[in-house]
Chains A and B, each alone.
Chain A
Amino acid sequence: MSSEASANVSGNGQLDYNPIDMLCIAAAREVHNDDAVLVGMGPPLLVCALAKQIHAPGMTYVTESGPIDWVLDPEHQAPIQIAEAKLAEGAAMLGDMIDALGVIVMGGRATAAVLQSAQIDRLGNMNTMVIGDYTKFKRRLPGTGGHADSGASAGRVISTVPFESRRFRERVDFRTTAGYIDGPGGRVNAGLNLQGPNVCVTTACIFTFDTPDGGETGSCEMTLDGLFPGVSVEDITSQIPWDLRVSDNVHAIPHPTTEELEMLNLLDRNFVHRVPGRYR
């Protein structure tokens, strides 16, 4: 293992890592060995590569441009984009968008999707489209790609959202991607399958959603469930612009292991996904 990929240990004997490292590691832990995962653009490419290297080697890694059951190349670098040449090497199947987003996702065969969102709301709906009003936007974002397709049909959604107050909304500015829509029964009324358990992993904590059955009953509201080391419940609730549900037993998310952190640093050794200065 090269020195650039080794985990640093700070003065107090703790591993030295950033909140974005913890986001990637905590999100990776949500991916199971038997999952078929639609892997979204951005940090999810790194998250799923990490899961595959650490605890979920059997996971099927699918990106929307067509590579299916992809494994890492010998250089151990996570892909940068969902359509790059690297994904052709190591894929068990090289199909197209209909094979990946159509057959696997819309066909109901993706057990999970890992998706990065610009905003997420109280009921787990997500926005990747626009900040502000749709046509009089403050800031236009790239659009959905496969995000809406995955939110509609994946078995569960693991969303990654940096913990910044502006990203958490009572209602997202544009509902690109269905979560629990307007609450219990919302998905079925809209014509979608139930989905869950969904989680939202941030740079400070993990949220779950208050529904035992994928959106049929319960409030379906975002619920604080786990805290990263050094973060308090108040640190979270003070930044969320609605009366946030807090789980009765909020648990402490364990520190990264040396293995996780070293692998993360190896997979993203050029800091393509963990852009310095971009995340607090």
Chain B
Amino acid sequence: MPELKKISKNTYELPKTGNMNVPGIVYASEKLLNAIKKDKTLEQVKNVAMLPGILKASIALSDAHQGYGFPIGGVAAFDMDKGIISPGGVGYDINCSVRILKTNLKKQDILKKQKEIVEALYRKIPSGVGRGSTFQISYKELDELLKSGAQYIVKKGFGFKEDYLHTEEEGCMKNANPDKVSERAKKRGIGQVGTLGAGNHFLEVQFVDDIFDKEIAKAFGLEKEQVVIMIHCGSRGLGHQVASDYIKLMEQEYGFKDLPDRELINAPIESKLGKDYYEAMCCAVNFAFANKQVITHWVREEMQKLFPKIKIDVLYDICHNIAKFEEHVVNGKKQIVCVHRKGATRSFGAGRKEIPDVYRQVGQPVLIPGSMGTASYILVGTEKAEELTFSSTVHGAGRVKSRADSIRSFRGEEIKKSLSKIGIEVKAGSWKSLAEEAPEAYKDIDEVVEVVDELGISKKVARLKPLVVVKG
């Protein structure tokens, strides 16, 4: 186990030793650090620190846990000339991400209709395994979708311009090139536009349970008791296949014998393969944006049937698993770097041009989903994050218990019952998937968020509590 040095409260350093190019930094409380130490997270932080061109530090955040190659809850930025881009640093579920919709309803308005809501949303939005989409498109249209993401879906009449304007990258990564996405990946994706998928993905109707910063909440258009809807899903089979394809191509090109872990395979950012992966990854990112745009449209349709006067607007939409070229200050100098966020959220402070006009004065909304049935949070990005974490913060609670252990320890039926007792209606693809996602299988979201708030890499704005959960 690598030795950690405490730097200050919530900050630990993994000193630079051996082949490490930079130190590792872990931002966590003592309690969360103890959970992090139980698996291979720290070893993976160390491995990432050995990659060429890595800048400042290999970073793990308070929700970190073991991934494959790179840890989940990890941030690593690379020099554009000397650095690398790695599919393992992004993850298989490219742009696994979160969108929050604001409504003009109050908690009181929906309490008596929770069961109807859960049934309607579950029926309309395919979730779980094997339920394909009713959103049918041709391969030619799929290429358009991969090029322009959520903007393509809006152009087809499913949503409004404001929907994608309130999305990271305005719902479209400009470097997307569908020619770099394999036929296999397209075949996997074509029937999955507008599907939630399975695993930790979900759709929740929530209410604003508490507000920590009134002024910023107002700027985000949030008030106490307000009903909001959270969509958590990704790029489905298309993204998974893009990751898989490029891992294989990079292995063929560069070999993996010198790597401490085969999943750390990478290519120089400036190489042909590095560029190809980036352009394919952008397509997968756009697929995920489009996916959530279709789901948003269906949520609007279903909710309007139940609440004819409802108004639904996109608050914001953020990416979790992504590599991006962004401007950051390194050694006192501004430079473009390639930031890998794997299970991490961008957290830009006020003023950054990438933030939509409406939020630029206060900072970017940061959306943190809790585990199923527990609280979720809305935070705001900060300048401090730029200094410490290449403008990144946590992405969720982070697992502590394996899925297999969860299935052994919990029963889906009982989870549904106990959630129902505290006023949360749940519907899932299977009892097993409910048991896998038992709230107890995750770290304490309140503590995870407290750490990043104390560190100042994002500040608490509002806490959300679920009323209705549709589980993938």
Q: Do A and B bind each other?
A: no
Query: Residues of B with Cβ closer than 8 Å to A?
Result: none
